[in-house]
Structure formats: structure tokens, C-alpha cells
Amino acid sequence: MEKKESPKIESGSPSRTAGLPDRIFSIIKLIFGVCLLSFVYSYSVALIDEFSLIDRSLQADFWAGVVTLLVVYLFIWEPALIYAKGQKLVEIIFSFFRPLVRVAPYLLPVYTILLFILYGILYFIVKSEALIHYFVFLFGFSISLHLIFSAKSIRSKQGDFLKANYIFGFSLIYILNLILLAFGFNLIFKDFSFVNFFNSSYQFSKAIYYAVFKQLFL
């Protein structure tokens, strides 16, 4: 009588706990992401407060750029190709350092940065008061373009347990983009203070964490 061989378990078969470290890491990222939400709020409020000190017509130009991008994106055409070209440019710039190639295209609003540099050059060449109005409009348009498509790219990634990558990643991108935008505004607007923006952001965040701590433990 032939002896039946017991089925062999292949060494490459997935284990029930194979994805456990990734899930634990995702939970940690989710916790950090939730903690970053207070900074998302505080940096937004601080930027708006500081930005409100500059000329009202320039404020209107910036928000017109933001709204224009939203209208184009929602009702006319998704400028995904423009965003992709910007990502390729950042990849080329940081090609010397592989780790940055993966994250820099999402973190850095390349068009906004290039516009600030271009304005700095043209400021000394073109003596026109209208120049700043065009560029402020483009600042609003370009930063909105970057934030919308960065959020869309991160959200579309597969295997995002509890949306941890999206909450943590986009919060970090949003905060860094506001810091870069505030730094650029500080360079071109005498009424905008990067130091005040940063201090206000810190104070807002501190107040939020203290209020949460007080509710939970005091």
C-alpha cells in the first residue's frame, strides 16, 4: 500500500503575519498624520493673517489664480500633463541623489519656485508695476496645481492601510508648501514677515495641543 505524501508547504507562501510590520508602520504614520493636522490648520491661518497685510489688489490676484486653477480643473481640463512635466524636471534636478528623486517631486512646488526666481530676475529688468500682479496670479495658480495633483497622486496609491500615507504625506507636503510660499512672499513683499508667520504658526499649534492636553488630562 503506497503511502500518501503530506502536502508540502512552499517556503514562498505568504504568512498571515507577513504584512503586520507594514500595518504597524501605517498606524504610526496615521498617528503622526493626525498630529500634523493641527499644523495644517495653524500654518494656514498664519499665512492668511500675514498675507492680509499686503495690498488688497495683490491679495485678489493671488486668490484669482487659485480659483482659476480650480475652475479649469473641475470644469474644463485636468492639467495633469503640466504637473507631470514639473515632476520630471525635479527628478532631473535631483538625479544625483536617488532618495530625493522619489519624494522631491511631491514635496517641492517646482513651478512656484521657478516663478519666484523668474520674478526676481525680471524685477531688475522690466520696470512695470503690472509685473507683480501677473506673477502673484501665477503664484496662486501654480501652488494650487501642485497641491491638487500631489494629493491626487498620493491618494491613488494602492495598499494605503487606513489612508495613513495620504493623511501623513499630504499634510507634510501642504505644510512645506506653505512654508516655501511664505518665504517667497517675505522676499518680495515688505509687509509680509516670514518670522511673524512662523511665530504665529507655532503659537496656534501650541494653543491647540495645550487645549487637547487640558481636555484629556487636566
Query: Where are the chain's structural domains?
Result: 55-179
pLDDT band at 19 (very low <50, low <70, confident <90, very high): low
Instruction: Show the cell assigned to 47.
Output: 499665512
Residue 143 clears pLDDT 60, i.e. is over it? yes
pLDDT band at 212 (very low <50, low <70, confident <90, very high): confident
pLDDT band at 6 (very low <50, low <70, confident <90, very high): very low
Helix, strand or coil for residue 100?
A: helix
Helix/strand/coil (H, E, C) string of 191-212? CCCHHHHHHHHHHHHHHHHHHH
| Lowest-confidence region among 5-14, 45-54, 71-80 | 5-14
Are 101 and 94 contacting, i.e. CB atoms less than 8 angstroms apart? yes
| Lowest-confidence region among 108-112, 158-162, 165-169, 211-215 | 158-162
pLDDT at 13: 45
| pLDDT, average across residues 91-99 | 83
pLDDT at 161: 65
pLDDT at 160: 64
pLDDT at 162: 60
| pLDDT, average across residues 145-163 | 83
pLDDT at 99: 77
The CA-based angle 16-18-24, given to 5 degrees, is 105
Contacts of 57 (CB under 8 A, 6+ apart): 133
Residue 11 clears pLDDT 50, i.e. is over it? no
Q: How many residues are present in the chain?
A: 218
pLDDT at 128: 87
Are 192 and 53 contacting, i.e. CB atoms less than 8 angstroms apart? yes
Instruction: Show the cell assigned to 92.
Output: 532631473
